[in-house]
Amino acid sequence: MTALLFAFSVLLVAQTEVDQVRELDLSGWVALAYENSPAITSADASLMSSEASLTNSESFLWPSLNLSAGASRMWSTMQVPGGEIEDTESNSFSTSLTLSQELLQSAGQNWLYLDAAQLSLKAAEADHRSDILNITMDVINAYYGVLEAVELKKAAEAAHERSFSQLERTEALYEIGAGTTLQLLQVQVQESGDKLTVSRREQGVFTAYSNLFNATGLNRSVNHLLINPRAIIEPLPIESVQDISLDYSENPGLQSASFRARASELQSTAATRAYWPSLRASAGWSWNDNTLDDVSSMFENDGFNAGVNLSWNVFDGFLRESRIKSARASSLISHASLETLENSVSTSIESLSNSLKLDIQYYSDSKLMLEQAQEQYRLSLMSYEMGALPLMDLLDAQSDLSQSEANLVSAEITALTSEASLLIQLGRMPRVGE
C-alpha cells in the first residue's frame, strides 16, 4: 500500500511539472519581451526624458509667481549724550508676491526653441518605435534560432536512427559471415558521427534557448517556457514578396534623423536671435512692518508695483558668437548624418529585398532536393537489400538525406528572418503569427 501511494505521488508531481510547461508561439515571446526586456524600460525612460524637455521649453508660456517672506531681529548699541551706552532692539517683518511674464525673448528665440523641442519629441517617439522594432527583431532572431536548433536536432536524431538501424543490420550480417570487417567499420563510423551530431545539436538547443531568454529579458531558470514548433508561419511565396512596397519613409531611424535635422536648423536660427533684446512684464505686492501685534493695521504698510523690463545683452565676452557657431556646426552634422543614413537605408533595403527573393527560391529548391534525397535513399535501400548496391553508396545516400533535411530547416529559417529584417528596415511590424 505504501509503495502504491509513493508511485501515485511521483506520478502526480510529474503531471504537475508537465502542466507547468508552456509552449508559446512567436507572438507570445514578443509579448514577454515587451513586458520584461530592460531595453523596453530604457526606451520608455528616453521618451519620458524628451517629454520632460518639451515641458521645460513650454514653461515661458506661463507666468511665474514668486512668494517670499522674512523676519529679522536687530540689536544695536549707541552712546547717547552724557556718555551713557544705550542698547536698542528692533524687529522687521516683510513679505512680497511677484507675478512676472516673459513677453518676448530675443525676438522670439523661445518660440523657435519650443518648435525645436516639439521636433525633438517627435524624434524621440520615432526612436522609441525603432527600439520596439529592434527588440522585436532580436526576439525573432532568437526564436527562429531555437526553432532551427530544435529541427536540426530532430533531423540529427532521424539520421542517427537510420544509421543505428543500419549498424544493427550490418552487425547481424557480420556475425553470420555475410559482411566484411570494412563494412562494419564504415557503418560504425557513420553511426558514431551521427550520434556525435545529436549531442552537438542538443547543446545547440540549450544555447539557442539561452539567447531567446536573454532577448526577452527573462532568467534562464524559467525553464518551463518553450517555443511551439507547431505554430510556425510559412515563408511568403515569391509573388507576395514581389508585391512588398519598398517605400522606406516609415523607417523610424530615418524619421528620427529627419526630425533632429529640422530641430537643429531651428536651434541654429534661434541662436542668432540672441543679438536682440528681451522684454518682460512684472507686477507685485509687498509689505513690511516691525510688529505683528496689531493685526487690524497689519497691512497698512504694503505697496504695489507694476512695470515692464527691457534687457539687452550688449557684450558677453563672445559667448553668444560661440553658441551660434556651435549650433551651426550641430545643424551641419545632423544634415550630414541624415544624408548618410538615407543612403544606407536605401542600399540596405534593396539588398534585403534581393536576398529575400533568393532565400525564398532556395527554400523552394530545398523542398525539391529533400524529396529527391528521400526517394534516392528509398531506392538505394531497396537496391542494397537486393545486393545490387554497395554499402558505401547506401551510406552516401543516407548522408545526402540527412544533409537535405538540415538544409530545408536552415532555408526556412533564413527566409523567415530575411523577411522580418526587410519589414523592420521598412519600419513595419513583421509577421509574428498568422
Instruction: Look at residue 80 in the predicted model and tell me its pLDDT.
Output: 67
pLDDT for 20 equals 66
Rounded to an integer, the average pLDDT of 302-328 is 89
| Band (5; pLDDT cuts 50, 70, 90) | very low
Q: Given this model, what pLDDT does residue 385 score?
A: 80
Q: Mind listing the pLDDT tens digit for each residue in 103-139? A: 888 888 889 999 999 999 999 999 999 999 999 999 9
Can you give the pLDDT at residue 295? 63
Please give the average per-residue pLDDT across 195-222, as a whole number: 89
Burial readout 325-352 (b: 16 or more C-beta within 10 A, e: otherwise): eebbebbeebbeebeebbeebeeebeeb
Label the pairing between strands 225-227 and 278-289: unpaired
- Tell me the three state secondary structure of residue 311: strand
Strand ranges, E, within 80-121: 85-104
Kindly report each contact of residues 332-335 with a partner whose C-beta sits within 8 Å and lies 24 or more positions away, as own/partner. 333/264, 334/257, 334/260, 334/261, 334/263, 334/264, 335/261, 335/264
220-229, 239-248, 353-362, 422-431: the lowest-pLDDT one = 220-229
Nearest in space to 78 (alpha carbons), one of 69, 89, 93, 66 = 89
pLDDT value of residue 13: 37
Give pLDDT tens digits for 53-62.
999 988 888 9
pLDDT of residue 159: 84
Q: What is the pLDDT of residue 368?
A: 93
377 against 281, higher pLDDT: 281
For residue 17, the model assigns a pLDDT of: 43
146 pLDDT above the threshold of 80: yes
Is pLDDT of 12 > 80?
Answer: no
CB 359 within 8 A of CB 353: no
Surface-to-core class of residue 235, CB atoms within 10 Å of its CB (0-12 exposed, 13-18 middle, 19+ buried): buried
Residue 11's pLDDT band (cuts 50, 70, 90): very low
- The strands making up 85-104's β-sheet, listed across from edge to edge, are 64-79, 85-104, 278-289, 302-311
* pLDDT number for residue 188: 87
Model pLDDT, residue 75: 85
Please determine, for residue 428, whether its predicted confidence score (pLDDT) is greater than 80. yes
CA atoms within 13 A on the CB side of 13: 6
Measured in whole angstroms, the distance separating CA 153 from the mean position of its chain's CA atoms is 30
pLDDT band of residue 82 (cuts 50, 70, 90) is: low
Residue 158 confidence class, pLDDT cut points 50, 70, 90: confident
Residue with cell 556646426: 329
For residue 2, pLDDT beyond 60: no
The sign one gets for the Cα dihedral 44, 47, 53, 58 is negative
What rounded mean pLDDT belongs to the chain? Answer: 86
CB atoms within 10 A of CB 361: 14
Q: State pTM to two decimals.
A: 0.80
User: So what's the pLDDT on residue 223?
Assistant: 67
Residue 99 has pLDDT above 50, yes or no: yes
At 217, which helix (H) or strand (E)? none
For the cut 90, the answer to whether the pLDDT of residue 288 exceeds it is no
Dihedral sign of CA atoms 142, 232, 368, 237 in order: negative
